[in-house]
Structure 1
Amino acid sequence: MRAAARTFTGRHMLIVTAAFFAVVIGVNVTMAILASTEWSGLVVENTYVASQEFNGKAAAMRAMAAGGISGNLSVRSDVIHYDIYNRDGPPATVDDVTLKFRRPVGDHEDFRLDLVKEDEGHFRAAHHVQPGDWIVEIISRKKEVTVMHEAVRIDTAEFGQ
């Protein structure tokens, strides 16, 4: 007794095609959800130009770090403080400090803030910062020369916002 031979019909082809597209759509939806909830990259105007400038910027940052100047940023109750110190502890001589707040993803909430000098090495500003993750680029200058340029990632919930 021999089993009847099965043939591949149009119905089988429909099932195979539907399964293929279901897998493709499922993977795309999964990747879109993961990208929108977990990606922490930065938004740049032109990725090619940014990639070409990366090594030069990294070398400049390493040179500044070797100079021994360090800073401390705090955001509490709509008041932003930034203190900048020399390697051996005394406040660094800096004329102005600019902060650029950027969201890790998207740029619709980004803003720039110039801090007011309170005392040598101590700066502050009153500004409300929305809760959540921020990348803060801090540029400190003395006589138009950048003496410290750093970027820190903060979560304003950690600062008691």
Structure 2
Amino acid sequence: MTSKPQPKKITGYHAAAMIIAFFAVVVCVNLVMARFAVSTFGGTVVDNSYVASQKYNKWLEQARSQASHGWSVSPIKRVEDKAVMTLAQADGTALRGADISAVAEHPVGRTDPISLRFQNIGDGIYASIGSLPAGRWKLKINISYEGKKMTLAQDIR
């Protein structure tokens, strides 16, 4: 007659080891996730939401004023290492002679901002004078033409 092997009993030592192992895994996962969150966080949209809410009506008025110019701005594109955009007036004719500058910021703040100036290369097409490194950038664009101003933001990849 063969005897069945007896199942091992779970002792207090085993229970303590399982509980400690469980919480060790939870703490390690939390530490890893916190490290990823802190290392990839690029900042805030606004530094002070209360102050931003106070400026909201002013921003709406600026947007209405800019819309009244009737200018249309094409989505900004990358051509080789230059940022290129097309500007048109309300009647569809090319907007020539505008003064355009921009600040290119990396979306997660990994590099310093880059200042760009644009020049008209023909029929309302403007190209950046300086080069824009490869990658994704958020451009804050300022356009001035005959005393009128427009400010906009566009992404470029």
TM-score, length basis structure 2: 0.67
Which residue in the other structure is 1:23 paired with? 26
Which residue in the other structure is 1:105 paired with? 108
Q: 1:61 to 1:133 in 2, by over 3 A?
A: farther
Q: 1:137 to 1:130 in 2, by over 3 A?
A: same
- Spell out the pairing of 1:1-161 with structure 2 (5 A cutoff): 9=12, 12-30=15-33, 32-33=35-36, 43=43, 47-48=47-48, 52=52, 55-56=56-57, 58-60=59-61, 62-63=63-64, 64-65=66-67, 67-72=69-74, 73-92=76-95, 95-118=98-121, 121-142=124-145, 145-146=148-149, 148-155=150-157
Distance 2:19 2:94 in 1: 70
Does structure 1 conserve the Cα–Cα contact (< 8 Å) formed by 2:136 and 2:156? yes
Greater Rg, structure 1 or structure 2? 2
SS in structure 2 at match of 1:105? coil
Runs of 4+ aligned structure 1 residues displaced above 4 Å come to: 34-37
AA matched with 1:71: V
- Greater shift in the superposed pair: 83-92 or 112-121: 112-121
* Deviation, structure 1 residue 48: 1.4
Aligned length: 146
AA matched with 1:90: T
**Structure 2: tracts of 5 or more residues without a match:** 1-8
AA matched with 1:102: E
**Structure 1: tracts of 5 or more residues without a match:** 1-5, 156-161
Q: 1:83 to 1:68 in 2, by over 3 A?
A: same
Does structure 2 conserve the Cα–Cα contact (< 8 Å) formed by 1:138 and 1:151? yes
Deviation string 1:120-153 (CA, Å, 9 cap, x unpaired) is: 744323433222211111110135642x211111
Distance 1:107 1:30 in 2: 20
Distance 2:28 2:58 in 1: 40
Distance 2:50 2:155 in 1: 19
TM-score, length basis structure 1: 0.65
Does structure 2 conserve the Cα–Cα contact (< 8 Å) formed by 1:83 and 1:121? yes
AA matched with 1:103: H
SS in structure 2 at match of 1:115? strand
Distance 2:108 2:143 in 1: 25
Q: 1:61 to 1:14 in 2, by over 3 A?
A: farther
Does structure 2 conserve the Cα–Cα contact (< 8 Å) formed by 1:94 and 1:141? no
Deviation string 1:31-87 (CA, Å, 9 cap, x unpaired) is: 5447766x7xx6459721696266357514631245432212232122333321123
| Identical amino acids, percent of aligned pairs | 18
Distance 2:45 2:155 in 1: 20
